[in-house]
């Protein structure tokens, strides 16, 4: 619409009125020039908008109060398997050291993660049928290794394993 122009012009028109027949009233008339291409494109967009059926959004996170039915989400909390530092009784609070591969799972920690995954499967907890199942994991080496074992044992997609910092932006 680079060369198109819309402008208003005011006209003084003498219209008869029951109170004061000699009074002048101001009317505004709009004059627009628009290219045929822009008119057709705008008409098509408007028609597409009006003809598209409106379906309700499938935002399962939206909660309208008061609730008409109970919430159906279930949350299971699990600690990561034993790490090298856990086995040594060493407490490391520096976040950089928590990310270190040296702080990965021990053999016992690996066994604990496999055992937990098998317990979840046995109790029918996981991505079975059409249920969504997500693993929210910490960024530490032991937490991500535990999540990796759960994901593999429960036949989950990688997209459903989410690090804790993913949605901070």
Q: Could you read off the pLDDT of 68-94 as tens digits, one per residue?
A: 888 777 888 899 999 998 999 988 888
Which pLDDT band holds residue 111 (cuts at 50, 70, 90)?
very high
pLDDT on residue 56: 55
Cα 83 from Cα 99, distance rounded (Å): 12
Contact 157, 133 (CB under 8 A): no
3-state secondary structure of 121: helix
Which two structure tokens, joined as six digits, stand for 42? 């705008």
Cα 149 from Cα 44, distance rounded (Å): 52
Contact 150, 109 (CB under 8 A): no
pLDDT on residue 2: 47
pTM metric for this prediction: 0.57
Which two structure tokens, joined as six digits, stand for 11? 């006209």
Question: How many other β-carbons are positioned within 10 Å of the β-carbon of residue 149?
Answer: 22
CA dihedral 120, 124, 129, 130 (to 10 degrees): -70
Average confidence score pLDDT of the chain: 76
């Amino acid at each position: 619409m680079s060369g198109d122009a819309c402008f208003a012009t005011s006209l003084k028109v003498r219209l008869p009125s029951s109170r004061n027949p000699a009074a002048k009233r101001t009317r505004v008339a709009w004059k627009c020039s628009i290219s045929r291409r822009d008119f057709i494109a705008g008409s098509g967009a408007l028609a597409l908008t009006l003809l598209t059926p409106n379906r309700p959004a499938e935002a399962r996170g939206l909660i309208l109060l008061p609730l008409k039915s109970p919430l159906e989400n279930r949350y299971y909390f699990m600690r990561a398997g034993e790490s090298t530092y856990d086995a040594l009784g060493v407490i490391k609070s520096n976040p950089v050291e928590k990310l270190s591969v040296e702080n990965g799972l021990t053999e016992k920690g690996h066994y604990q993660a496999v055992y937990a995954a098998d317990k979840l499967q046995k109790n029918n907890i996981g991505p079975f049928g059409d249920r969504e199942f997500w693993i929210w994991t910490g960024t530490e080496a032991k937490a991500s290794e535990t999540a990796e074992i759960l994901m593999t044992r429960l036949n989950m997609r990688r997209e459903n394993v989410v690090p804790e910092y993913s949605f901070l932006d």
